[in-house]
Amino acid sequence: MRRSLTFRAIVVGMLILLLLIPLAMVSDLIRERAGRKTEAEAEIGQNWGGAQTITGPVIDVPYEVPVRAAADDGSGRMETRIDIHYAHFLPEELELASTLEPHTKHRGIYEVAVYGSKTHMKGSFMPLSAERLKTGYTLRWDEAKLVLGISDLRSIKEQVSMRVGGRTVQFEPGLANYDVVANGLSAPFPLDSTMLGRPLEFEADLTINGSGSFNLTPIGKVTRAVCSSVWKDPSFFGAFLPDPVDSAQQQTSGFNARWTVLHLNRPYPQEFGGSRREEIDLSAFGVRLMQPVDEYQKNERASKYGLMLIVLVFLVFFFVEILQKLRIHPIQYLLVGFALCIFYTLLIAISEHIGFGKAYIVSAVAVIGLVVLYAHSVFQVKRASQLLGLIMLLVFGFMFALIHEQDYALLFGSIGLFIVLALVMWVSRRIDWNGTRD
């Protein structure tokens, strides 16, 4: 059994399966460190300001709806109650111009991108009337409110006021209903007959902090939005992507994104009763300030090639053992396997401080040097040790290329594995697996 090549190959295969345990622990370590970074981002967002979504302004007008319901005394009799519903009127035109000033905050070794934003909004409402929204009930125009949605009120840095219809209104926290937004500001905006018969123009400035993403909602019949920043790694997302811009300008001077959205592009009208908050939330668009390098994502991709790395190095040891007629103990295989697993822990720890590329080179050189020196003491054949070092350099270089390749990673990986299999078949073609030769 000890002399059987098949038995020794089975032992090597079992050792490879055993090393899947430390590889799984490496993956858990990467997720844990990534989770700590997420916690740091959440902590900074809690203190500075979270993801921001600006919605509004919207005019809310209450009206009474009589409802038949069972009495509260448990007698079973029916009584008439008055429920307050709201009619919502969205602006005819809405122009938003936002500027994001990025900052970098630190929590320990973690860096988090945050921003301070200044938004200038202006537009107009069409003349308001009950004919625009036939509810069947009398609208209480004298109790109308002006609503402005801001997702995180803690990060507001200046008093929020708006010039609308020739008068200035001051916003206060709190909402009378949650039909349009879940969080925001409101202000009393009573409407008399003189204001109902004419368009209402509005204008306001808003200064808020935020982190993660900055979003705008296209509630205007025609919404034109501009968002600019010196940040060079934006990620646009949401229901609408920005209009094409000069890519060269965007790379050298940050970004300057523009959107034009019509009411025909969204699933809710300009005036409605009841709740449309879900549809309004889904129509938002915006930008996320991405970190230039995501170290943990690259570490995770690198760990997925751990099994391939171990298999290839073990194959070299196995063929040297057979062709040079050596006896390599399973413990020696395990020591080499543990050294390859430690490569990933070194990579994670060092990349948190000096970046993934430099950390990969440092970790790879350290592990290759350790394995080659150990193999030289085991093989006692200089040429075999040099061949092992060359193969490990090629494997680590191949892995590095696959990690940084997005579109063709599967193609290059498949071709590389095919070449490796062809080399293994060529090297092993003269091996007497059955032991029938002398």
What is the Cα Rg of the chain in Å?
33
Query: In this predicted structure, what is the pLDDT of residue 101?
Result: 93
Query: In this predicted structure, what is the pLDDT of residue 245?
Result: 65
Per the omega criterion (within 30 degrees of 0), is the bond before 234 cis?
no
- pLDDT top residue among 241 and 78: 241
Task: Give the model's confidence band at 1: pLDDT under 50 very low, under 70 low, under 90 confident, else very high.
Answer: very low
Task: Give the model's confidence band at 353: pLDDT under 50 very low, under 70 low, under 90 confident, else very high.
Answer: confident
Q: For residues 36-43, give the mean pLDDT.
A: 81
Q: For residues 168-188, give the mean pLDDT.
A: 93
Which CA distances in Å does 42 have to 47, 50, 157, 381? Answer: 9, 8, 20, 55
Q: For residues 18-22, give the mean pLDDT.
A: 88
52 pLDDT above the threshold of 80: yes
Range picked from 9-23, 71-85, 129-143, 162-176 for highest mean pLDDT: 162-176
73, 91 contact by CB (below 8 A): no
120, 162 contact by CB (below 8 A): no
**Chain segment 418-434, per-residue pLDDT in tens:** 887 888 788 777 666 66
- pLDDT top residue among 62 and 2: 62
pTM above 0.85, yes or no: no
360, 315 contact by CB (below 8 A): no
Query: In this predicted structure, what is the pLDDT of residue 145?
Result: 94
Q: For residues 312-332, give the mean pLDDT.
A: 80
**Cα 64 to Cα 86: distance, rounded to the nearest angstrom:** 9
41, 211 contact by CB (below 8 A): yes
Query: In this predicted structure, what is the pLDDT of residue 74?
Result: 67
Classified as helix, coil or strand, 117 is strand
**Chain segment 257-273, per-residue pLDDT in tens:** 999 999 999 999 999 99
**Cα 130 to Cα 119: distance, rounded to the nearest angstrom:** 32
Q: For residues 81-101, give the mean pLDDT.
A: 93
Helices 306-323, 20-48: axis angle to 10 degrees equals 160
- 3-state SS, one letter per residue, for 175-187: CCCCCCCCCEEEE
371, 388 contact by CB (below 8 A): yes
Q: For residues 67-72, give the mean pLDDT.
A: 74
Range picked from 90-94, 106-110, 192-196, 228-232 for highest mean pLDDT: 90-94
- pLDDT top residue among 159 and 321: 159
Cα 190 to chain center, whole Å? 42
214 pLDDT above the threshold of 90: yes
Task: Give the model's confidence band at 2: pLDDT under 50 very low, under 70 low, under 90 confident, else very high.
Answer: low
Please, what is the average pLDDT of the chain? 85
91 pLDDT above the threshold of 90: yes
234, 255 contact by CB (below 8 A): yes
Range picked from 166-180, 239-253, 389-403 for highest mean pLDDT: 166-180
248 pLDDT above the threshold of 50: no
- What number of H helices and E strands is found in the chain? 11, 16
Query: In this predicted structure, what is the pLDDT of residue 266?
Result: 92
- pLDDT top residue among 417 and 3: 417
Task: Give the single-character DSSP code of 151.
Answer: S
Please give the helix or strand (H or E) that residue 200 lies within, else none.
Answer: strand 200-211
- pLDDT top residue among 208 and 417: 208
114 pLDDT above the threshold of 80: yes
Q: Give the pairing of strands 93-107 and 110-125.
A: antiparallel
Residue type, 119: T
**Cα 333 to Cα 289: distance, rounded to the nearest angstrom:** 46
Q: For residues 345-366, give the mean pLDDT.
A: 89
